[in-house]
Amino acid sequence: MQTNLTKQKLTAGHTVLGCFSRYADAGLIEFLGYQGWDFLVLDAEHGSLEPRDCENLVRACELRGVTPIVRVTTNQPPVILRYMDIGAHGAQIPFINTLDDAAQAVRSLKFHPLGNRGLAGTRAAHYAQGITFTEHCLQSNRETLLVAQIETEPAIKHLAEITKLDGVDVIFIGPNDLSHSLGLPGQIQHPLVQDAMKRIADIVLPSGKALGLMATSVENAREWQLRGARYLTVTIESILGPAVRRFIDEFRKP
């Protein structure tokens, strides 16, 4: 696999910015790659993306030097394996609620001695052309990025343990599911949800792991950057919708 520039920047202490897309269109991903994103999250959890779709989307990311990360459907080894074998540079894994959940994710993403991911001559391994399996394992363990989503109240109780685990690079706050877990679905600005997000940040920031977040606007992204988050994301819809409405409203003004 190619050098993971997003992981490289995070390791150096920089902030990275990425965009979620759930659409199986390589042209769209290639277009987004021209816009200056550090990474793109190919969203298989809340989209219809299959490994075959993601393989072409990863190729489109690599054309523009953008880091392709797949948000997988679930924290299961066979699922994670299929998305990593197509060449994704990392996985964003939902509902990491316990230390065991996080450890399973690491084992699924990494090769020996960090994990037990299945080994084969896949695209990620250059189809076993010009690189040995030993080199592939070393390279993958070095370059792959693991983003653990913390999005339930029980997960916060285990978060201090999770942040000590080798192999986890980013702790990502999932605000929508967190609000749902607290019985306040969609009410992200509710004081209880905001307090839970603050508790997550207070645990993660001193730990050495990067704090990640789904921002709702550029102002929200800047706010969280000032609060210490370094893996910042938005959805393509949150950018596209307002831009389209603004264009139409401006055009229709008397």
- What is the residue-wise DSSP string for 201-247? HHHHGGGTSEEEEE-SSHHHHHHHHHTT--EEEEEHHHHHHHHHHHH
Contact 159, 171 (CB under 8 A): yes
DSSP tally for the chain: helices H, then strands E = 11, 8
Residues sharing a CB contact under 8 Å with residue 200, sequence separation 6 or more, in sequence order = 150, 156, 159, 171, 173, 211
Euclidean distance between CA atoms 88 and 159, whole angstroms:
26
CATH classification number, 5-252, choose in 3.40.50.1000, 1.20.1250.20, 3.20.20.60, 3.40.50.1980: 3.20.20.60
Question: What are the boundaries of each domain within the chain?
Answer: 5-252
Query: 0.85 cut: is pTM over it?
Result: yes
Q: Scanning the structure block, which residue is given the tokens 């409405």?
A: 245
Spatial separation of the C-alpha atoms in residues 125 and 105, rounded to whole Å: 20
Q: How many CB atoms lie within 10 A of CB 11?
A: 12
- The residues carrying an active-site annotation are 46
Tokens of 129: 């052309």
Which structure tokens are listed for 110? Answer: 């990494």
pLDDT tens for the chain, 254 residues long, are: 789 999 999 999 999 999 999 999 999 999 999 999 999 999 999 999 999 999 999 999 999 999 999 999 999 999 999 999 999 999 999 999 999 999 999 999 999 999 999 999 999 999 999 899 999 999 999 999 999 999 999 999 999 999 999 999 999 999 999 999 999 999 999 999 999 999 999 999 999 999 999 998 999 999 999 999 999 999 999 999 999 999 999 999 98
Closest to 149 measured CA to CA, from 179, 170, 180, 176: 170
What is the rounded (10 degree) CA torsion for 106, 224, 194, 191?
A: 180
Residues 6+ apart with CB under 8 A from 203: 156, 159, 160, 163
Size of the chain, expressed as the number of residues it contains: 254
